[in-house]
Amino acid sequence: MFSNNTHKQQLHAENTTAPMLKVILQHQVPTDRAAKDDSKRGYQIKTTTQSWNPSQTAVIICDMWDAHHCYRAVQREAQMVPRMENMLNHLRSKGVTMIHAPSSCVSAYANNPARIRVASIPKSVAPAGINEWCRSIPSEEQITYPLDQSDGGEDDTPEEHAVWAEALKAKGLNPRSPWKKQHQGLTIDPTKDFISDRGEEIWNILEHKDLKNVILVGVHTNMCVLGRPFGLRQLSKNGVNVVLMRDLTDSMYNPKSWPHVSHLEGNALIISHIERHVCPTLTSDQFLGGKPFRFTPITAVP
């Protein structure tokens, strides 16, 4: 049995010839540090180019559930899924590790090799609090959060929401928490992937496989993507080179709440907050070509 350091050296030696992933990371820096109000401080977008070894890179797919209590959230997720599936397949083919994290649904995969595989990963020394929700990190603590999400962020019309709740009930699902598995449009490769929603388990995977770079995709940006035990805050504060894929994420924000902007503008505000105070972002076109994914308007009721 070899030590963890020996294992990492072996992994590195086996993958030195792999083509590197060139990424352009976007972050924001303040132009007026004296201003105390973050909304008035002024920021400038900066980019940094990095080269990542695919074997040292992971994608965490956060809470891309098969259902949700918010009808419009479901419709936006459905729009994202084909692009996300293409991106995951592409990066998997390059040797990137896929970690599926459908929170509270992991038990549905008890017999899936991608879940069973997690148990074979040796335990490492995990950071304190890694299994806990993280509501802020020091870089955010003096900053006004850009959205009021205290109402849960549902942006359905009352009519849409009522019809959707009845449709979920008709399927035997709880309208408040109807998710059971990950979205069926996203492939879980049983020969390579991992399934976990626990911070310590995911930390063990990162350590054992020497995964230095992590891309977060999924929902919801202002809640689970930021706060989960495997989310942006936990990984950032614990020294992981973590980034958000900003075109394959969506927030829970109701335009009836402050700052009373459209849903997509609210999502953009959260992404800016992340670029300023949490971690950089990138977009899927860096791997797939073409243009970044964009949502289309939702007009139809279910």
Domains of the chain, by residue range, sit at 53-124+151-288
Question: How far is the C-alpha of 22 from the C-alpha of 31, rounded, in Å?
Answer: 28
Judge whether residue 13 has pLDDT over 90: no
Residue 156 to residues 27, 147, 266: CA-CA distances in angstroms?
31, 17, 15
| Per-residue confidence band for 9, with pLDDT thresholds at 50, 70 and 90 | low
pLDDT tier, 203 (very low <50, low <70, confident <90, very high otherwise): very high
Query: What letters, b where the CB count within 10 A reaches 16 and e where it falls short, cover 17-40?
Result: eeeebebebbbbeeeeeeeeebee
Give the end-to-end CA distance of the chain in Å, rounded to a whole number: 56
Whether this model's pTM surpasses 0.75 = yes
* Cβ count within 10 A of residue 288: 16
Q: Does domain 53-124+151-288 have CATH number 3.40.50.850?
A: yes
Q: Report the length, in residues, of the chain.
A: 302
Residues 88-111: what's their mean pLDDT? Answer: 98
pLDDT in tens, 161-177: 999 999 999 999 999 99
pLDDT above 90: residue 12: no
Which of 297, 99, 294 shows the shortest CA–CA distance to 192?
99
Q: Tokens standing for 195?
A: 């399934």
CA dihedral in degrees (130, 61, 282, 244; nearest 10)? Answer: -30
The model's pLDDT over 225-238, given as tens digits with 9 standing for 90+, comes to 999 999 999 999 99
